[in-house]
Structure 1
């Protein structure tokens, strides 16, 4: 059971209704191509990857979920709020239902859509999807107050997870720095020891020659 399913079950012990996405959302693709992107564009440009590009014109001004139509199916999800442009093989899902929080729907897609798509596939992987595969997906619709409480909990959880990952990365870099410094110190010490040994050998040879005389 996913975190969102646990929260829905906890906050709505009597169960909730599930609604077909096609009945409560506008689903469609964009018209742009990756070559339309510009480096410092004014608006975000969502393509078929986790990377968000930039562009100087927008197609939509809304809250929506963006997913790729090819590649990364069930792995890539973007939550959009505001003006943006969209690739011709990426899908936008914009909810118009007043009793559904778009961010809550985003979390539902993030945790359950891949499983749903795989259940409809004839193979173990899915490389592309079409509009009916999105519109036939069902999501739970608990009371709006419950949805927003769940979003608040999950947002906090994601924020803490990001902070933890950043701290672990900082610790890893710190460890690497001191490890490299220690190895460098050991190499320098070994080199100095070799030089001192050579110098001592030379000095000893001089004394031995002097004694023979």
Structure 2
């Protein structure tokens, strides 16, 4: 930090020039880099990317139309609808035509990495589903200090980024360990445990339709199928969304203890994901969800739905159209273990402790990663706060 302050005092004591992002960066459309098949396989060589949270959607064996990013010629991938962006320094293919590849314009800015960090300070959330780069985002301004200052800022922020990446790698290793133990615990190998089809121990019913236009800030709690694989984990006592109270008579509700299952998804993996509803009252469910009403421990069933064995069996029943679907009849044919209730509760207690270690942001590694991210954001914003030159 002191070195950066010295450079600023020496090279730009009167402030720095602010320039529009579009003056500094060129964009390229992804057309020739789009993946043709979504038959991804982790054994394939080339990652398929999105600029969103998922980042790597899978791996393809396609060999044509690969974007040649590298450590020497990196690129920023930018989602033209959400304005999310990622740093990429390896070859890849793109999934969405809404992605743009951003590179530095000749003689405009030398450090793309600096521009990447400076873009993180832009606070903007699109309010409509429209293209953002050309008309809006490229017009935002960022400070452009002398190159020596840019390099020092990048050096500091890269150090924070590396430390966070190391913590995330350790957390990922623990997640793999946890998943292995969970799957082994719920396999009941060499144990005299009864296995039953889900239709033998419960019943299914489908929700009723509502749309995002029906959402309100204070209304009836609801679960949309998309939220099951983006917002919830094993169980929840509250919802992220609510719909209008005057819709009550047209809705269908899950009760506390029911398992709410996503019946559709963009990928085979997403279909069949589930969350146990543990709220105090009933919850409205979307018509692309199923509720499973049963007498088992709800978290026990939800944990089993996360196992590799369950997904391997479930995948046989998924209808593989553009949108992947799973029917209630098909789910009812799936087998689940049915140990005594006290054994179900014992397993849930064990898995809850493991789950907290890798997912609870108030403890352990997740808490440390959260603190590191807050520290990074603090220093990033300080380092990138410049006085604009007159």
Q: Deviations over 1:149-179 (max 9, x none)?
A: 1111111222222233243022023134235
Relative contact order, higher structure (CA 8 A, sep 6+): 1
1:148 Cα offset (Å): 0.5
Matched, 1:54 2:248: no
Q: Which moved more, 1:52-61 or 1:100-109?
A: 52-61
Find the partner of 1:40 among 199, 204, 218. 218
Distance 1:125 1:24 in 2: 32
Relative to structure 1, the CA distance from residue 126 to residue 153 in structure 2 (aligned partners, 3 Å threshold; closer, same or farther) is farther
Distance 1:26 1:171 in 2: 46
Q: Which residue of 1 aligns with 2:265?
A: 71
1:15 Cα offset (Å): 3.6
Q: Which residues of structure 2 form unaligned runs of 5+?
A: 1-178, 232-239
Q: Say if 1:32 and 1:85, in contact at 8 Å, map to a contact too.
A: no
Partner-residue secondary structure (3-state), 2:303: helix
Partner-residue secondary structure (3-state), 2:184: helix
Q: Which residue of 1 aligns with 2:181?
A: 3
Q: Which residue of 2 aligns with 1:178?
A: 379
Q: Say if 1:117 and 1:126, in contact at 8 Å, map to a contact too.
A: no
Matched, 1:83 2:282: yes
Relative to structure 1, the CA distance from residue 70 to residue 132 in structure 2 (aligned partners, 3 Å threshold; closer, same or farther) is same
Matched, 1:101 2:297: yes
Bigger Rg, structure 1 or 2: 1
Q: Which residue of 1 aligns with 2:12?
A: none
TM-score scaled by length of structure 2: 0.41
Relative to structure 1, the CA distance from residue 125 to residue 151 in structure 2 (aligned partners, 3 Å threshold; closer, same or farther) is farther
Distance 2:370 2:321 in 1: 34
Q: Which residue of 2 aligns with 1:196?
A: none
Q: Which residues of structure 1 form unaligned runs of 5+?
A: 192-213
Find the partner of 2:356 among 152, 155, 159. 159
1:101 Cα offset (Å): 1.4
Give the alignment of 1:131-150 within 5 angstroms.
131-150=328-347
Q: Deviations over 1:96-131 (max 9, x none)?
A: 3xxx21210111112244322223457699711111
Q: Which residue of 1 aligns with 2:306?
A: 110
Distance 1:124 1:167 in 2: 42
Q: Say if 2:260 and 2:289, in contact at 8 Å, map to a contact too.
A: yes
- How many residues align structurally? 182
Partner-residue secondary structure (3-state), 1:40: strand
Distance 2:192 2:321 in 1: 31
Bigger helix fraction: 1
Give the alignment's Cα RMSD to 1 decimal.
3.0
